[in-house]
Amino acid sequence: MFPNCSNSLVADLSGEKIKQQNKKLNIAPAPAREARSQPLTVAQGVVKMLENLGVQYAFGVSGGAIAPIWASLEKSSIGVYHFRHESGAAFAAVESHFASDRPVAVFATTGPGITNILTGLFAARWEGAKVIFLSPFTSAPQRGRWAFQETSAYTMPIASLFTSGELFHYAATLESAEELAAVSRRLTLGLTQPGGFVAHVSIPTAIQSSLLEVPLPQANFLGALATAPEKQKLSRSSRTQEPSLRGY
């Protein structure tokens, strides 16, 4: 068709010809398609939150109730280590924190999965590690019906395991996808404080697969951690100067 012309030149001439014809016929060019990002599930949002918080490793024992989070962990940049027993996973997480100086995640399934991991989490609290424990919670419609390994106020001591206290510096149970943003902010605040921080985030199985419509806050854990000592120094300095500023 066009002798002595390269294929690219032929393509350019053909494209220009089509543009001229469209202009004559008053045909507007087709709008460019916008790439739409798919909304995250809560499980994916939790894993994204962990990545933003600087978590590099997760240790635990999987189960059906924690499957959405486990699957999301496997597809993330976080290294996942599956153990034979939950207690061993928790102890490994403690040592991983001290070896890397980063927060570490642990996970377990409902019922005995949660109770088995407690010894290691008490060690994390005692030794001053930074550990985030992820667990499932029985979905609301199934609570009180004695579902398999039911985890709810009907079967377990909620005040000791799912609230802040002697074991956990911070604990929360997500009852809706919208609550994850607030949990992310609380975890960021806790992890940037001096000393250890052991948190428990429990997510009902049905909530794990629901869509996350509220965007997560953009946490920069490593940057916040680097400036934390300086902020503490300024805070101590301001408290020292406070009496003279008040005229005492």
**Domains along the chain?**
53-210 (3.40.50.970)
Per-residue pLDDT at 234: 38
Q: Say if residues 151 and 110 touch (Cβ distance below 8 Å).
A: yes
In this predicted structure, what is the pLDDT of residue 39? 84
Instruction: Quote the pLDDT of residue 36.
Output: 53
> Strand order in 130-137's β-sheet?
79-82, 57-60, 104-107, 130-137, 197-204, 170-173
Which residue, 220, 213, 135, is CA-closest to 181? 213
Give the per-residue pLDDT at 138. Answer: 74
**Structure tokens that stand for 102 in this block:** 């980063």
Phi-psi region of 195 (alpha: psi -120 to 50; beta: other; left: phi over 0): left
Profile the chain (248 residues) by mean pLDDT over runs of 10 residues: 48 56 59 62 95 96 92 95 95 96 95 91 96 86 69 72 88 90 94 94 91 74 51 41 32
pLDDT at 248: 27
Q: What is the pLDDT of residue 165?
A: 85
